[in-house]
Amino acid sequence: MKRFEWTAPTSVSEAVELLRSAPSFADPDEAPRPLAGGQDLLTTMKEYILRPSRLVNLKAIRGLDRIQGDGKRGLRIGALATLARLEEHPVVRRDFPAIAEAARSVASPQIRNLGTIGGNLCQRPRCWYYRLEEVVCLKKGGTQCYAASGENKYNAILGGGPSYIVHPSDLAPVLIALGASVTIAGTEGTRTVALEKFFTLPSEGSIRRENILRHDEIITEIQVPASRFAARSTYLKFKERASFDFALASVAAALELDRDRTVRQARLVLGGVAPIPWRVPKAEALLVGKQITPDLLNQVAEAALEGARPLAHNGYKIPLTQALIRRALTQLAQRA
């Protein structure tokens, strides 16, 4: 690990100023970094993938870990709220079940006790070429995405190119399905952005980043609006390893049903298959105005993966994701 300066601000304004005023850096991987639970950041620093000159520990800022609201008023989640608290929170479990399910699906209880929602959304990709210290891939300033023609079993089948990472967060697909926004604080003020617009594809913006955050900005809060579908939401994740693992594919789904169980609104976002959480509006639209039948589920699953372009070793993700879609929607339609 490279030597770094440790700072522990007690307010958001102090934190963003410490990020802004850090020593100048030539490479984005040397930018100062906010530190939350450290469950991803410390690993990347130990492997010399990120080499920040300054760490800005957010944990001494009071109030950033609040969870407030409910299904009627909407939910406000402070960026430092841990995944363990989201998983166990009675209101989250009742009114936004997919959030609790996604939090529960992350890693191990020990990691969820420390890992925060802000860190979960901003964690770096898990592609093994990116994570290997010796490999200088496109995302680390190199000239080649080694996954494109190499060992790409875990990589993107949708939205890839020139880099084929997949977005690793389990919370992000759910929060996008539920229409969440993030509040971002920086030295130039505060902005609130729909989470759907927060993540960037490798073909847009900078290939070295995965979202719109500038180096002197932090997420302070996530807002999930009240909706008629949040209470009927779910998150299904397929992992290669039963104990704890990242998603090979996952599905966040939410439905509003009429009394006769016709779908009034539908949300469907895929995880583990693209460099960003992948919303599938055409598949959502197919559901509206219809009752869920096996035929409809097949059409929806087909439409959701329509644009998929698998690499040499990850074609299996298409039927896997389609099965998860059918299963998630069946479960939601059967819920009382």
Which residues form the interface with ligand FAD (CB under 6 A)?
A: 33-41, 43, 58, 79, 83, 106-107, 111, 114-116, 118-120, 122-123, 168-170, 213, 218-219, 244, 246
CB 181 within 8 A of CB 195: yes
Nearer Cβ to ligand FAD (126/290)? 126
C-alpha closest to that of 128 among 142, 114, 139: 139
State the nearest-atom distance from the C-beta of 220 to ligand FAD, in Å: 7
Terminal CA-CA length for the chain: 52
Nearer to ligand FAD, 123 or 152 (CB): 123
Q: Other C-beta atoms within 10 Å of 242: how many? A: 6
What is the distance between the alpha carbons of residues 248 and 41, in angstroms, rounded to a whole number? Answer: 22
Separation CA 87–CA 146 (nearest Å): 36
For residue 6, give both structure tokens.
Answer: 């440790």
Residue placing its CB nearer to ligand FAD in the complex, 169 or 314: 169
Q: How far is the CB of 150 from ligand FAD (least distance, A)?
A: 23
What minimum distance in Å lies between the beta carbon of 171 and ligand FAD?
6
Q: Which is nearer to ligand FAD, 184 or 333 (CB)?
A: 184
Alpha helices in 235-280 (DSSP H): none
Distance of closest approach, residue 56 Cβ to ligand FAD, in angstroms: 8
HSE-CB at 294 with a 13 A cutoff on CA atoms is 0
Instruction: Select 33 or 232, whichever has its Cβ closest to ligand FAD.
Output: 33
Per-residue tokens: 172: 């992000």
- Closest CB 316 distance from ligand FAD, rounded Å: 19
Least distance to ligand FAD, CB of residue 86, Å: 10
**Upstream peptide bond of 162 is cis (omega within 30 degrees of 0):** yes
Residue type at 34? P
Residue 132: count of CB within 10 angstroms of its CB: 14
Handedness of CA 94, 97, 103, 108 (dihedral sign): positive
DSSP 154: T
225: nearest Cα among 72, 64, 68, 66: 72
Nearest approach in angstroms of CB 139 to ligand FAD is 13
Q: Compute the least distance from the CB of residue 42 to ligand FAD, in Å.
A: 6
Measured from the Cβ of residue 26, the count of other Cβ atoms closer than 10 Å reads: 6
Cβ nearer to ligand FAD, comparing 34 with 160: 34
189 phi and psi angles, rounded to 5 deg: 125, -165
Q: Give the residue with the Cβ less far from ligand FAD, 43 or 262.
A: 43
Shortest Å distance, C-beta 101 to ligand FAD:
12
Toward ligand FAD, which CB reaches closer, 57 or 265? 57
DSSP classification of residue 24: P
Give the nearest residue (CB) to ligand FAD.
119
Q: Which is nearer to ligand FAD, 222 or 263 (CB)?
A: 222
* DSSP 8-state class, residue 195: G
